Chains A and B, each alone.
Chain A
Amino acid sequence: MRGDERWDADDVRSLRELYPGLRRFAAVVSRPDLDPDDLVQEAFTRALVARSRSEVPNLGAYLRRTIVNLAKNERRRLARGSVAQARLVPSEDAVTAPPSDLSDLLRLDPVSRGLLFLVEVEGASIREAAVAVGCTEAAARMRLSRARRRLRAELEAERRDE
């Protein structure tokens, strides 16, 4: 397939419309030291390279899955300790150095954070959120349940400490 058969101006326009929401999504699922725009940009690039627009019926979900995968890859890379910054800190939690009231959330894996964001903030159904992050609906329910339970416990612990 030639490059000029892949995407036309209207298709690129659709990327433009998706950008604000995708950036927010990327900010939630990625490591806090990564620029969310970098993930969105890479997701756009992969979409432009890999698929013709007609082959991607749900472009938003496709891009969100790509962003989640990129975030997971970064997380794995960090776990391998392959960059200086990663090596600098003694544990994954310390990498984030987030404001303390966000650290609980940032300890969740990217998929769970993405699910929580889509369901709690964006108002997506669990089915829609599952498609967007690339898991089954059952798995999404399980992840959401675990994440909420864990966060609830940690929030309560915070309150007790206060």
Chain B
Amino acid sequence: MSELRHRLDEIAERGEPRGVDAVIAASTAEAERRIVTPLLAPSRRRTPALVMLAAVVVSALVVGVLVLRADDGDNRPRVNATSNPSMTTPPTTATTTAPPSTIFPPPSVDFSAVDFDHVAWIDGTALVTASSSDTTPRVVAQGQIERPQFSADGRWIAFVQDGSLHVRRAGGDGDIDLGSSVRPFQWSPTGELLGWSAGTDGYGQLRVTDPATNTTTSIPGAGDVTDFAWSHDGRSLAVARVVPGTATTGFEIVGADGSATRRVVFTPPAGDALGFNLLVFAGWQPDGAAVLVWVDPGGSASAMQDGLDLWLVPVDGSEPHLLGKTLLKREWLQWNADGSRLAIVRGTWRGVYDGARTVTVCRTDGDCTPISGDDVATMDPAWSPDGLQIAYVSKPATQPMPEVRNNKANWRALYAARTLWIANADGSDAHPVDAAGGGVASPRWTRDGARILYVRDDALWAVDLAGRTETNVLGPIAPVPQFQYGYRSNLAPPDAPYEAGSNNGYPTWESLVTWTP
């Protein structure tokens, strides 16, 4: 059986080993998360007995309402319901319940240094909101809360609660339960339409819900919707589908009402013998002329964790532009105000300590210029409102492995080296914003360009660029994941709550906090 041994040996050597250091570091970090999280969560706060009693009463009322409404079940959007382009489904089941009162002293919110009216964040098992007109934080939902997102007009908030997609008014009242098995969802950049995909056994269909009228429209099409993206004008959606047994040949552009479907041919080199590439959308060019698409050859989850080729694909069928390899973190793609330039973060490899990261500015013709050299890693780009400057986070290009002691990897020490910088769009005049300190992530400019919001120590801060003073806007909140690093059980790509960006190793603040535009 020497031939058998030879073949087994050939299989055993397949692939490029990631290396023992990386695997050990990721394992210990993930093990720490699994050990710590269940211990912390239940004991973070004590619930007063009266609140428990109130919760029981409210729960009983809700159950009663649901029982009484059982006959209305047909009105609820059905997973895998047959699509009909001309048919708008009847109003979805909506339950208006009084938001639970605040059950703990939540972190205060300082609206004086920001320009948004509503903010929502996940705090433990609660979804908490506050507004400039009512600064008292309110718990609006409890359970396993994920991915809160305000609508573009700030009137609504969508979030996943215990695996089911919900929509409420920004203040927390009203509730539309869109059902479980929800995969990607995204508000229209204009107005208040929510696009979402759901399915069982992985077969997804695309729907658009208008919470104001409580109606849901199914977007027809063959195959399984794996991802979609709204155009900036809110009129169209790019839709990626997988049809069993067929090669990937492009994606669709469809109207928000399901009409006027057209196909964009896009056939990058195939990932496997069958010609299968999983397409993941990174957004649209602001003028609607092109769509940003990540290509996952063969639909490999591992490849996705380490970065994919990002393409700018014109919808008129002209030649696509390869912008480079980036991690799948949509927050790392930022268009400037006039839509002429796109800041991306070129990079590969999921590791937080030595993965290559370079903020790179690309034009719509595919010409790209890095703004930093190889001596540093730069990430988290954010354009100034006038489009002349970029704020970003910088750290040493390579860092030592985190110290592991008693099964605890000291990731925080790595984050401390991340500092806030501002440079011109071509990378010139780069200078640090010292007032922000170390451990910075996720910078965003205020609309007047006077301040930059950023995350540090699990809290949201604002630094005044004139006075160089900082204000604690929100938090710290808890529990912020200590890290989101490593193997994530091969979740289907658009389903992954933290995208592949989770594997950059630091808290994915964007998945925990949202504010109105």
Contact = CB atoms under 8 A, between A and B. Distances in A.
B299 A83 contact: yes
Nearest to A40: B23
Interface string A30-55: 00111111101110110011000000
A62 interface: no
A101 interface: yes
A121 B5 contact: yes
A4 B407 contact: yes
Contacts of B14: 27, 32, 36
B46 interface: no
B302 A35 contact: yes
Nearest to A120: B5
B307 to A, nearest CB: 14
A132 interface: no
A18 to B, nearest CB: 9
B492 A84 contact: yes
**What's the dominant secondary structure at chain A's contact region?**
helix
Interface stretch (B24-32, B160-168, B457-465, B504-512): B24-32
Contact of A74 (B202, B224, B245, B490): B490
A144 B90 CA distance: 59
Interface string B232-251: 00000000001011100000
B272 interface: yes
A3 B36 CA distance: 8
A23 B408 CA distance: 23
A87 B274 CA distance: 12
A25 to B, nearest CB: 7
Given A3-B36, A6-B407, A101 B7 contact: yes
B8 interface: yes
Interface string B316-355: 0000000000000000000000000000000000000000
Q: In the complex, which of the residues B8, B242, B272, B302 has the most CB atoms of chain A within 10 Å of its own CB atom?
A: B8
A85 B299 contact: yes
B44 interface: no
B202 A87 contact: yes
Contact of A89 (B12, B23, B274, B490): B274
A45 B7 contact: no
Interface in A126-162: 148, 151, 155
B417 to A, nearest CB: 24
Contacts of A88: 242, 244-246, 274, 276, 299
A45 B31 contact: yes
B198 to A, nearest CB: 14
A38 B278 contact: no
A3 B487 contact: no
Given A19-B23, A35-B302, A24 B13 contact: yes
B10 interface: yes
A27 B12 contact: yes
Contacts of A28: 8, 11-12
A6 B27 CA distance: 14
Q: In the complex, which of the residues A3, A20, A74 has the most CB atoms of chain B within 10 Å of its own CB atom?
A: A3
A52 to B, nearest CB: 10
Given A3-B406, A83-B202, A97 B490 contact: no
Contacts of B202: 81-84, 87
Contact of A3 (B17, B274, B299, B408): B408
A97 B27 contact: no
Contacts of A59: none
Q: In the complex, which of the residues A27, A84, A97 has the most CB atoms of chain B within 10 Å of its own CB atom?
A: A84
Contacts of A148: 1, 4
Contacts of A94: 274
A88 B405 CA distance: 45
Nearest to A85: B299
A23 B226 contact: no
Contacts of B13: 24, 27
B9 A48 contact: no
Given A4-B407, A45-B31, A105-B11, A82 B201 contact: yes
A90 interface: yes
B11 A41 contact: no
Contacts of A7: 406-407
B486 A41 contact: yes
A41 B274 contact: no
B97 interface: no
B71 interface: no
B31 A105 contact: no
A23 B19 CA distance: 10
A101 B26 CA distance: 34
Contact of B298 (A3, A4, A33, A37): A33
Contact of B487 (A12, A41, A49, A113): A41
B20 interface: yes
Nearest to B27: A44
A6 to B, nearest CB: 6
B242 to A, nearest CB: 4
A138 to B, nearest CB: 21
Given A42-B489, A87-B203, 13 more contacts: A12-B28, A19-B23, A24-B12, A35-B15, A37-B23, A38-B490, A41-B30, A82-B492, A87-B202, A87-B242, A94-B274, A105-B7, A106-B11
Interface of A: 3-4, 6-9, 12, 15-16, 19-20, 23-25, 27-28, 32-38, 40-42, 44-45, 48-49, 74, 80-85, 87-90, 94, 97, 101-102, 105-106, 113, 116-117, 120-121, 148, 151, 155
16 contacts: A7-B407, A19-B24, A23-B17, A27-B11, A28-B11, A38-B301, A45-B26, A82-B492, A84-B224, A88-B274, A102-B7, A117-B12, A120-B1, A120-B8, A151-B4, A155-B4
Interface of B: 1, 3-5, 7-15, 17-18, 20, 22-24, 26-28, 30-32, 34-36, 201-203, 224, 226, 242, 244-246, 272-274, 276, 278, 298-302, 404-408, 486-487, 489-490, 492
**Which 8 pairs, one residue from A and one from B, show the smallest C-beta to C-beta distance?**
A44-B27, A48-B31, A35-B302, A4-B406, A85-B299, A24-B12, A37-B18, A19-B20
